[in-house]
Amino acid sequence: MTPLPYLDRADGADAVTAALRSSGACIVCDALDPMARLSLEADLAPWFDAAPCGEGPFFGVRTKRFSALFAKAPRTARLALDDLVLPVAESALGAGGPFCDRIQLNLTQAIGIGAGEPAQHLHRDDDFFPFAHGDADLMINALWTLDSFTAANGATQIAPGSHQWDRRRRASPHELLPAEAPAGAVILWLGRTLHGGGANTTDATRRGVVMSYSVGWLAPAEKLLLSIPPHVARTLPARLQQLIGYQIHRPNLGWIEGRDPIEWLRGDIGEVAAAGDNLTPAQTERMRARG
């Protein structure tokens, strides 16, 4: 069976991307320092208390979820902007290449799998997009562990190598591995990789935070432009403003009055504005060559 690779931050983005591409998933064990993890836990604790459990078998009737994380717990911004994970996401999704100008955040979600929750239905995250999938990577998920993930408490089950399987193939139990990881790790998997939350047979909740990235031309799962209202978005770092949707996927997706929506966020354009071409450098060059 393809192994589930374990790496450290010091291995660097190229090694993490290579592991992700070959196995469909990997784990970086020392991703978050303990102090940062403890402060995130403190910020998220009241929201875990307030969040209700899910209503259906897929999201789990003993599992709590909540999103809009940058509005609820602004320090989660550091996870989305992590200087290892963000470059890995850009590289894995081919940012700047012919099929992806820019990546975006697909969703932000804290997940607490409660005691007694059965294993989640195995799925590929990019199956939510109803079209004939090729072998391009559209999405990558980063699940930051707030607790140690064990086979007993619901560690994510992953079928390593399944990103390269025929889409109709299901995983047999012996093809699944629990993504066991210490608290403060990040578990990465591609949108094509079969996986699901594991069964929690312990008495304690298993908590993690998902930052999901996708190519910038897909509809994001979470309507981040609404869940993070403009007055909150204005307080975020510029890169995060782009990742939640204040960016154009050049040349022509996601504009306001034909202009980059970050200009709107900054109050730089009014009710009408001069539409820009918003071309990539390669497109500018092609237009110039055509004369």
Site residues for ligand AKG per CB under 6 A: 111, 113, 120, 143, 156, 195-197, 208
Closest separation between CB of residue 189 and ligand AKG, Å? 8
Q: Nearest-CB residue to ligand AKG? A: 156
Closest separation between CB of residue 92 and ligand AKG, Å? 17
Given the complex with ligand AKG, which of 5 and 197 has the nearer CB atom? 197
Given the complex with ligand AKG, which of 212 and 241 has the nearer CB atom? 212
Phi, psi torsion values for 8, nearest 5 degrees:
-120, 160
Closest separation between CB of residue 86 and ligand AKG, Å? 20
Given the complex with ligand AKG, which of 73 and 139 has the nearer CB atom? 139
Other residues' Cβ atoms within 10 Å of the Cβ of residue 124: 21
**β-strand partners of 211:** 108, 142
Contact criterion met (CB below 8 Å) for 106 and 219: no
Given the complex with ligand AKG, which of 104 and 212 has the nearer CB atom? 212
Given the complex with ligand AKG, which of 63 and 242 has the nearer CB atom? 63
Strands 206-215 and 103-113: what pairing?
antiparallel
Closest separation between CB of residue 191 and ligand AKG, Å? 11
Tokens of 146: 């707030």
Strand ranges of the sheet holding 6-7, from the earlier edge strand across to the other edge = 6-7, 25-28, 186-190, 139-145, 206-215, 103-113, 63-66
Type of residue at 95: A
Closest separation between CB of residue 121 and ligand AKG, Å? 9
